[in-house]
Structure formats: C-alpha cells, structure tokens
Amino acid sequence: KLDPGLIMEQVKVQIAVANAQELLQRMTDKCFRKCIGKPGGSLDNSEQKCIAMCMDRYMDAWNTVSRAYNSRLQRERANM
C-alpha cells in the first residue's frame, strides 16, 4: 500500500531540487551576461570579482524574497 505522507515528502524533495537547479541556472546566466565581456579560456581578476559579487548579491536578494514569501504564507495560513 502506498503511503501518502511518504509520497508527499518525495514530491517536496523533488520540487526543492528543481527550485535549486533553476535558481543556480538563473544566477549563472545573469552573472555571466553581466560580468563576462569576451568569453575565453580563463577569467581575469575583475571578472572573478564581478562573478563573486554578482552571485553574492543574487543569493542575498533571493533569500530576502524567500523569507518574505514564507512569512506571508505563514500569516495567511494563521488567518484561515
């Protein structure tokens, strides 16, 4: 017999993995376009710094939005 709780947990894990993959892909695309003028065999010092700062800012922004979204969900659930 299938355990609905187990299936739901597996679905949640799959969704979390898909969200993480999408976040990484979007961050990579955005920061590459912003920081890499002429792709080559290696990154120069300014490109490395730009990539690092871009990824840090992107993750900070994503975490801020995520916390606000989760907080709003919790408030809405409490009001139901």
Give pLDDT tens digits for 42-78.
999 999 999 999 999 999 999 999 999 999 999 999 9
The pTM of this model reads 0.73
CA 54, 57, 62, 65 torsion-angle sign: negative
Please give the torsion angle defined by the CA atoms of residues 4, 18, 62 and 56, in that order, rounded to the nearest 10 degrees. Answer: 140
Rg (CA), the chain: 18
Look up residue 30 and give its two tokens.
């955005």
Where are any strands of DSSP class E within the chain?
none
- CATH code: domain 4-79 is 1.10.287.810
Which residue, 49, 63, 59, 75, is CA-closest to 24? Answer: 59
